[in-house]
Structure 1
Amino acid sequence: MFPIRSLFRGAMARALVPASLMMLAACGPESLDELTGELEGALANGVGSTAARAALAKRWAPVHYQDVDVTGSHSLSGRSDYISRVDFDGDWVGTNNWDNTSSRALNAHVYHSVVETSSHWYIVYTFFHPRDWADSIFDTEHENDGEGVMLVVARDGSEFGRLDGAVTVAHKDFFSYVPDGSPLASGAESTDGKLSFANFEGVNHPITAQEAKGHGLKAWPGYDIVGDGVKYFPSLTTAEEPSSASDSDVRYKLIDIYGPEGLWARRQLGSLFASDGTFAGDTSGDCGYVKSLCSTNSANAPWGWDDQNDGPVQRGEIAIDPAKLSAYYFSPSAGFSTAYTFNPFKGVGGDPNAP
């Protein structure tokens, strides 16, 4: 059964407010007229504006299935599998997130970054959990967990482009997918499956899924909900906490990773990052049924993601240089322009939040 909030949304909220205007409400200006004026034609001029990035990220944001395990004391009855923001506990300290998971709200947020070439937009979505946990005394646990997906969107002349492929992050491995009808095929890496879609607010969104406990991420049904689980849907305005471990209609709020609530401007913050792209995490609290099996500094932001055996692709390039990665993972490689017109990770197009 859907929560009451979902019935209200479906029957009233979406009927009263056009989806395109609801989508814009978090972009900055005070009125819907200002918002509409700011966004109109923005993507035709690239993704240099916050509003354009928000619109593009919302259009392709995944419908996300999160498997939930309610067993074991470290699951917190399933809460340890809920997605949240890094500062869910009100501070930018990485080493107390495990401890605070049990006592703070876990409202759903997902970070997005967008970079641009003349041929493609690349959108990375980062799903954060305060715990990478286990229910066995023989398994390793660690504080903080960041995994995600990079979408390859061709700039085909349409407003939001065409989604041609995806690369997901599951621990130390990347997995690549293409939807039906995509012009892309296997490159140096073989594709791992089909990218499927679900209709949400009148348009198709890719479906991603994460396993419980370790939170590896693949295109559905590479992972799926088995028993308990949460289904998350994107928003620019609303962040909800699941009402239970089996909530099928929860909104996650998108956060621009370059913005004031994001991670990129805080990349040199010692309380949050132990090293470049690696979240600080310690062994405090009950992490590790056997304390030696709680590892430290073991989770990464997207510029720290790395596949352990994909040849010339370097650590972090899934976010920093996704055109290079895409030309390696997919063919034909010649279809990918490698000259960026907007890429704050490389200082192209401006980095207003640089420390």
Structure 2
Amino acid sequence: MRCLNCAKMVCVICALVFWAIGTLGGSASAQQVTPREAEQFYESLAWHYGPVIHQGAASDQDYITALDFDGDWFGNNNWENQPTGDLSAYVYYSVIESKTHWFLFYSLFHPRDYTYEDCATSGGCHENDLESIQLTVEKDGTPFGKPRTLETLAHDSIYLYTFDETVGSGFLRVTGLAELEDGHPLVYVEALGHGIYGHKGGSSSIYFFPRLLGGGTVTYRVGEQAEVPESRKDENISYKLIPIYTTLWPRRDSIGDGKTFDRPFEYRGHVLSASIDGDTFSKDSANTPWGYKQATGATLSRGDWFLDPARAVSFHASFEDDFSLEYVYNPFLNDLRN
């Protein structure tokens, strides 16, 4: 079944590539296209660069899934429902386009952030966890462009990786070179705390500690099926991409105890939610995609990394080539303007 799905996926991607070359010339803005055509093009970009995820797995609490894995959109029952919920693998994504770049954002959700020690006494556990990566791709005239930077979020820090030496440090110091597998960036995710890194040596909780507990590393790759790992050492699991814009974003106003999100904050005159609602061990400790405040310095605001990525990435790194701050497609900012 998996081989048939892979073959079907290749056909779909090939069709979208030919459509992108013949109709769009590598950009959804190059000609007048229907919203569905633009949506398909951005989805094909997200598929093309869907990350290969090496997930440290000390237990099934480290399996990635969807926020509504338990069949509802309440945030504060996810800890309790983790043992019985559907742990099929999903990755949330968005694509934003400027005049010179595409910004691909991927978010990984876990119902629990936990510790080796008893959560009742460790002080390090909390309900819900959403850590993310941002891939910046230069529009170079080819259908899928050229990847330039990979940023990964691990707890309170964003790490900057580049694909060549023409991109340098900005507010963030370049951590190292990003890695690719068949054109897909590789990311490495901790067990327990789920911080994301662009190299396998980023944390001992990716490989070493999970194995001490009898676990291992689960490897997820983008596919048509949302699969559940057969073990904590499964090396070929398919995850399904789901768009942030049609799943999480429409619920952004569901703010408060017993709802989906919480911790309201103001972003450019609009009230948004900074976190997923949660109350087990630590209250409201998992950020929303638009709620991150890491690496803002004195220039950026909470939310810019997701909502205004051109501004954020150009602050985090330095680019030799043109880097436009003007958007061709940013449905999130458009919604906030309307």
TM-score by length of 2: 0.84
**1:187-198 correspondence runs (5 A):** 187-198=170-181
Q: Cα deviations across residues 156-201 of structure 1 (Å, max 9, x unaligned)?
A: 000011001011111111110002x3531112321111101112xx
Secondary structure in 2 matching 1:95 = coil
Give the counterpart of 2:250 among 237, 252, 265: 265
- Matched AA of 1:205: H
Match status 1:44 vs 2:14:
no
1:309 to 1:329, Cα distance in 2 relative to 1, 3 A: closer
Q: 1:279 aligns with which of 265, 276, 295?
A: 276
Question: How many Å separate the matches in 1 of 2:226 and 2:243?
Answer: 14
For 1:35 and 1:209, how far apart are their aligned partners in 2?
28
Q: CA deviation at 1:17?
A: 3.9
Equivalent residues of 2:20, 2:27 under 8 A apart:
no
Deviation at 1:150, TM superposition (A): 0.4
Root mean square deviation, CA, Å: 2.5
Runs of 5+ in structure 1 lacking a partner? 1-7, 25-31, 70-77, 284-293
Q: 145, 162, 166: which one pairs with 2:146?
A: 162
Q: Select the residue among 111, 132, 154 that pairs with 1:130.
A: 111
Match of 1:232 in 2: 220
Deviates further, 297-306 or 149-158: 297-306
Structure 2: distance between partners of 1:36 and 1:296: 48
Identity %: 33
Match for residue 68 of structure 1?
A: 57
Partner SS, residue 126 of structure 1: strand
Give secondary structure in 2 for the equivalent of 1:231: strand
**Which one-letter code corresponds to 2:189 in the other structure?**
Q
Shift of 1:345: 1.7
Letter in 1 for 2:43: A
- TM-score normalised over the length of structure 1: 0.80
CA distance in 2, matches of 1:58, 1:298: 29
Instruction: Tell me whether 1:57 sits opposite 2:57 in the alignment.
Output: no
Please say if residues 135 and 147 of structure 2, whose CA atoms lie closer than 8 Å, have aligned partners that are also in contact: yes
- Contact 2:296–2:302 (CA<8 Å) still a contact in 1? no
Which residue of structure 1 lines up, in the alignment, with residue 2 of structure 2? 9
State how far apart, in whole Å, the 2-side matches of 1:9 and 1:17 are: 10
Distance 2:44 2:313 in 1: 23
Q: Against the structure 1 CA distance between its residues 187 and 36, is the aligned structure 2 distance closer, same or farther, given a 3 Å change threshold? A: closer
Tell me if the contact between 1:184 and 1:331 (Cα under 8 Å) persists in the aligned partners: yes
Shift of 1:134: 1.2
What secondary structure sits across from 2:76 in the alignment? Answer: helix
Q: Distance in 2 between matches of 1:40 and 1:128?
A: 36
Report the AA paired with residue 68 of structure 2.
D
Match in the other structure for 1:153: 137
Instruction: Flag structure 2 segments of 5+ consecutive residues without an equivalent.
Output: 265-272
Distance 1:258 1:245, change over 3 A: same
- Residue identity in the other structure for 1:268: D
Matched, 1:212 2:199: no
- Closer/same/farther in 2, CA of residues 152 and 231 from structure 1, 3 Å limit: same
Secondary structure at the aligned position of 1:335 is classed as coil
Which residue of the partner structure matches residue 177 of structure 1?
161
- How much does 1:122 deviate? 0.3
Give structure 1 regions of 4+ aligned residues with deviation exceeding 4 angstroms. 34-40
